[in-house]
Amino acid sequence: MKFIFNYSKLIISSIFWVFLLITWYIYSGFMPSYQLPSPMMVFAAMLNVVVDVDLIKQIGLSLFHITTAILIAFLVGSFLALLPFYNTYFEHFIDYRLTPFLNSFSGVGWLFIAILWFGINSFTVIFAVTMVLIPFAIINLRTGILEMDSEILELGKSLTRKSKKLFFTLGAPMLFPYGFATLRTSFGVSWKVVLTAELFGGAGGMGYILNKSRQEFETEMIFAVIAFIIAFVIIAEVIFFSPIQKHLDKRYIRD
């Protein structure tokens, strides 16, 4: 029964993509190529990216920006989220002052500030993306901390007074699903932010390719970059995030 259900989902998904490609192909025949290139033109541009060393470096630079920003945002957000856990004096500041401020601050605003402070370079891109991602880390991890089982923590305190041991043996396992959710959300959001950051404040990356293609009316390359981003997100979701999420669902969800 499960096999039939999965097979049906595969068929429906395949029909959707075939329908989309056919519609795209037909409609592109009525439009100038600089406005809507055909699927074949976009596929040729994607092949050109794969064989062009310089373009591969630009994609790798975007991946570096995203990976670095996610890592820094997770570490900074974890530190800020854990401050009230060890010292309640920080609770009001983190929950009602810092987090709302960071969450409401525009990502474009961080980008322009970074350009003024650091110039046009990779550090500007990483800084802008990191500042956008930090609130997601704080909110997710603070939620996890507030929902931790207080009885289990109290039991742990009766067995040991070592705060580090208590956190890594009891607190960290309970926070793991929230930490994973933070990384999963950050990965999706970062792709939406990094292109804008690279477009205005970066000296390279996929945003740089988009800007150059826009200036030269190479619309097929713009579509190719978008297709690569979609492919990266889908591959990461299927290969990495979904299997871990299924394991977490079995491990942590209570009936």
* Structural domains of the chain in order of their starting residue, each with its CATH number: 53-216 (1.10.3720.10)
At 2 the pLDDT is 53
Taking the C-alpha atoms of residue 100 and residue 115, their distance in angstroms, rounded to an integer, is 24
Backbone phi and psi for residue 108, each to the nearest 5 degrees, phi listed first: -65, -35
pLDDT in tens, 102-118: 999 988 899 999 999 99
**204 closest CA partner among 120, 133, 127:** 120
Of residues 8 and 196, more confidence is placed in 196
In the block, residue with structure tokens 């990976």: 67
Between CA 23 and CA 30 the distance in angstroms is 11
User: 39-66 pLDDT, tens per residue?
Assistant: 999 999 999 888 888 888 998 999 999 9
Give the number of other CB atoms < 10 A from CB of residue 60.
Answer: 13
Of the candidates 61, 66, 104, 58, the one whose C-alpha atom is nearest the C-alpha of residue 190 is 66
How distant is the alpha carbon of residue 149 from its chain centre? 29
User: What separation in angstroms does the CA of 7 have from each of 1, 4, 70?
Assistant: 10, 5, 35
Please name the residue ranges forming H helices in 52-171: 53-86, 91-93, 99-104, 107-118, 122-146, 150-159, 163-166
- Structure pTM? 0.85
31 secondary structure, DSSP code: S
Share of the chain above pLDDT 90, in %: 29
Residue with tokens 């209570």: 254
Residues near 183 by beta carbon (within 8 Å), at least 6 away in sequence: 70, 74
What is the full DSSP assignment across 88-102? GGGHHHIIIIIHHHH
Q: pLDDT tens digit string along 209-251?
A: 888 888 888 899 999 998 888 888 888 888 888 888 887 777 7
Tell me if 110 sits within 8 A of 197, measured CB to CB: no
